[in-house]
Amino acid sequence: MESIRRTRIVELLQREDYGTKVNVKGWVRTKRGSKAVNFIALNDGSTIKNIQIVADVEKFDPEMIKLITTGACLSVNGEMVQSIGSGQNVEIQALEIEVLGTCPADFPMQKKGQSFEYMRQHAHMRLRTNTFGAVFRIRHNMAIAIHQFFHERGFFYFHTPIITASDCEGAGQMFQVTTKNLYDLKKDENGSIIYDDDFFGKTTSLTVSGQLEGELGATSLGQIYTFGPTFRAENSNTPRHLAEFWMIEPEVAFIDLDDLMDLEEDFIKYCVKWALDNCQDDLEFLNKMIDKGLIERLKAVVNTDFVRLTYTEAVKILEEAIAGGHKFEFPVYWGCDFASEHERYLVEEHFNKPVILTDYPKDIKAFYMKMNEDGKTVQGTDVLFPQIGEIIGGSVREENYDKLMARIEEMNIPMKDMWWYLDTRKFGTCPHGGFGLGFERLILFVTGMQNIRDVIPFPRTPKTADF
Ligand code: ATP
Ligand code: MN
């Protein structure tokens, strides 16, 4: 076969230099046609769109033609031709075809219209489908948008550790990290495991949040963000929780609650707009196949002001809804932690747009949140989104050493080994705050997918760590 440099399909589809000889490589989506002519839709992952390969059957070895089945991998040399019937401007008239990889009939993605449940059991091959191609191209774009957003605003990308010795991050159950022989654990006289001889000489876990280290970054570099893997061993088998997910955590010095809410809103709008501007083909595909309201919803978010509401005001709205006959499963009273039915009522029924809730009762929020003057509420913010629920959790941090210590003692927070965090409040403390956005929750929103397992290539959830 003549050696011609490969062109990606996304580039080929833009070109109009008909007559040029090109090489494309990719996987067969479909093959149709007659005894005389075969039409092969080829996809190489560079775009949702396929290029049509036209093969005059008589020019090729019939044994080779038989090997061109759905899923097979081909290298095709051919001539660019203006196309009438393929839905694109250009197609390839094949001159030489090499089957790089045959695809037997037990290819798990052979049939169209398989359920997402089925595809999860074949997560290694679901990547070859149109839907997952679209989702993961968008996921890439969102990562770029995030770095771009922060870089443009002078935030520094700050790497916080994945292995941590602090057990007070308080955001859920942790996965322990050890090199100890679990079949032969040394214990002290009280039966407690001795960790002196473990790799780090103490108990360590995978991080549930980079925030505490991020605060050290913000109180020195001014404004930072983290973007890394996060692990929570919470046994919540919901369509919104993973055991391993990616979190973005900006942390900013000299910020107050209003600035923080502005940052949250600007940030999400920037990412959603980025998707609308840069992922048009994939969004159109998802809008057609997955969720007919998707693009409308994305545009609405970019063009609307988010509602800003205190927790106390939200409780009133929910109580009025109940008085008006609305039924919730869980009770509503001042001090309760909202269940997702409450959050969704506010976002999807009452306001019908994103809501930023603030000033939560101190007892349902983390120890580090800044106390308001009422002594009852803290400067925490959650951003609630239609379909998703909580997408961001953030707060202004308590920067006063004595007030922070009082909360730590009141809440019995295990602060062993946390002297370094407290030092931020001891040496040149400053007002600061930040938030955490779950990357996959953003991807859920932007793609219209329903289950968080379908927006990360290799999901980790209770009892699943295949692939
Ligand atoms: P939730 O109430 O939904 O369990 P949380 O209050 O535990 O979330 P935070 O500790 O505030 O969450 O974490 C910040 C953000 O990280 C959340 O707003 C959410 O977007 C995301 N997040 C939290 N837990 C998970 C998880 N298990 N899987 C995926 N994303 C998560
Ligand atoms: Mn939260």
With beta carbons less than 8 A apart as the criterion, state whether 213 and 230 touch.
no
- CA dihedral (240, 241, 244, 248) in degrees, to 10, reads 60
pLDDT value at position 350? Answer: 97
pLDDT at 361 over 80: yes
Rounded to 5°, angle at Cα 392 from 391 and 395 = 160
Measured CA to CA, the distance from residue 168 to residue 416 in angstroms comes to 9
pLDDT at 270 over 80: yes
| Residues in CB range of 119: below 8 A, 6 or more apart | 109, 126, 129, 132, 454
Measured CA to CA, the distance from residue 311 to residue 317 in angstroms comes to 10
How far is residue 121 from each of residues 8, 101, 107, 115, 467, measured CA to CA in Å?
30, 23, 13, 10, 9
Alpha-helical (H) ranges within 62-210 are 62-66, 116-120, 123-126, 130-152
Ligand nearest to the CA of 389: 1
pLDDT value at position 87? Answer: 83
Kindly state the tokens that stand for 137. Answer: 């191209």
For 423-462, write each residue's pLDDT tens digit: 999 999 999 999 999 999 999 999 999 999 999 999 999 9
For 233-263, write each residue's pLDDT tens digit: 988 889 999 999 999 999 999 999 999 999 9
pLDDT value at position 448? Answer: 97
pLDDT at 379 over 70: yes
Measured by CA distance, the residue closest to atom 11 of ligand 1 is 393
Among the residue ranges 37-41, 66-70, 84-88, 223-227, the one predicted with the least confidence is 84-88
CATH code linked to domain 126-173+208-454: 3.30.930.10
Q: Would the CA dihedral through 216, 217, 221, 223 be positive or negative?
A: negative
With beta carbons less than 8 A apart as the criterion, state whether 79 and 20 touch.
yes
Ligand 1 mutation pick, 206, 241, 355, 369, max ligand atoms within 8 A of CB: 241
Measured CA to CA, the distance from residue 366 to residue 152 in angstroms comes to 31
pLDDT at 384 over 70: yes
Band of pLDDT at residue 15, cut at 50, 70 and 90: very high
CA of 316 to the centre of ligand 2 (A): 21
pLDDT value at position 168? Answer: 60
CA nearest to 382, candidates 326, 427, 340, 428: 340
Band of pLDDT at residue 88, cut at 50, 70 and 90: confident
CA of 340 to the centre of ligand 1 (A): 12
Report the share of the chain in percent with pLDDT over 70.
99
For 278-292, write each residue's pLDDT tens digit: 999 999 999 999 999
Measured by CA distance, the residue closest to atom 6 of ligand 1 is 393
Q: Following DSSP, what letter does each residue of 358-404 receive, concatenated?
A: EEEEGGGS-TTBPBPTTSSEEEEEEEEETTTEEEEEEEEBP--HHHH
Report the share of the chain in percent with pLDDT over 90.
91
Kindly state the tokens that stand for 52. Answer: 């049509």
Ligand 1 pocket: which residues have CB below 6 Å? 171-172, 232, 234, 240-242, 245, 247, 390-393, 436-438, 440-441
For 146-201, write each residue's pLDDT tens digit: 999 999 999 999 999 999 988 765 556 899 999 999 998 989 999 999 999 999 99
Measured by CA distance, the residue closest to atom 30 of ligand 1 is 438
For 395-412, write each residue's pLDDT tens digit: 999 999 999 999 999 998
- Asked whether the whole model's pTM tops 0.85, one would answer yes
Band of pLDDT at residue 363, cut at 50, 70 and 90: very high
Q: What's the Rg (C-alpha) of the chain?
A: 27
pLDDT value at position 124? Answer: 94
Measured CA to CA, the distance from residue 460 to residue 241 in angstroms comes to 10
CA of 334 to the centre of ligand 2 (A): 18
Is 383 or 110 the better-scoring residue by pLDDT? 383
Measured CA to CA, the distance from residue 466 to residue 121 in angstroms comes to 9
Q: Would the CA dihedral through 415, 421, 427, 432 be positive or negative?
A: negative
Measured by CA distance, the residue closest to atom 1 of ligand 1 is 390
| Residues in CB range of 165: below 8 A, 6 or more apart | 200, 202, 203, 204, 205, 417
Average pLDDT over residues 210-221: 97
Contacts 24+ apart (CB under 8 A), 116-124: 116/450, 116/451, 116/454, 119/454, 120/453, 120/454, 120/459, 123/457, 123/458, 123/459, 123/466, 123/467, 124/467
With beta carbons less than 8 A apart as the criterion, state whether 156 and 221 touch.
yes
Ligand nearest to the CA of 229: 1
Residue ranges, CATH 2.40.50.140, the chain: 9-101
Average pLDDT over residues 312-338: 97
Q: Is 318 helix (H, G, I), strand (E, B) or coil?
A: helix
CA of 394 to the centre of ligand 2 (A): 7
Residue ranges, CATH 3.30.930.10, the chain: 126-173+208-454
Fold of 9-101: OB fold (Dihydrolipoamide Acetyltransferase, E2P) (2.40.50)
Rounded to 5°, angle at Cα 460 from 194 and 227 = 85
CA of 187 to the centre of ligand 2 (A): 37
Kindly state the tokens that stand for 236. Answer: 């919540």
Band of pLDDT at residue 113, cut at 50, 70 and 90: confident
| Residue linked to tokens 């149109």 | 130
Which atom of ligand 1 sits closest to the CA of residue 442?
20
pLDDT at 31 over 80: yes
Sheet holding 176-177, edge to edge: 163-164, 204-206, 176-177
CA nearest to 127, candidates 114, 136, 118: 136
Bridge partners, 75 (sequence order): 25, 98
pLDDT at 69 over 70: yes
pLDDT value at position 341? Answer: 93
Ligand 1 mutation pick, 391, 441, 451, 452, max ligand atoms within 8 A of CB: 441
pLDDT value at position 29? Answer: 96
Average pLDDT over residues 336-344: 94
pLDDT value at position 86? Answer: 77
pLDDT value at position 417? Answer: 80
Q: Is 23 helix (H, G, I), strand (E, B) or coil?
A: strand
Which atom of ligand 1 sits closest to the CA of residue 243?
27
Measured CA to CA, the distance from residue 266 to residue 98 in angstroms comes to 50
Q: Following DSSP, what letter does each residue of 95-126 receive, concatenated?
A: EEEEEEE---TT-TT-SSS--HHHHHTTHHHH
Average per-residue pLDDT in the chain?
Answer: 95
CA of 306 to the centre of ligand 2 (A): 18
CA 136 to chain centre: 10
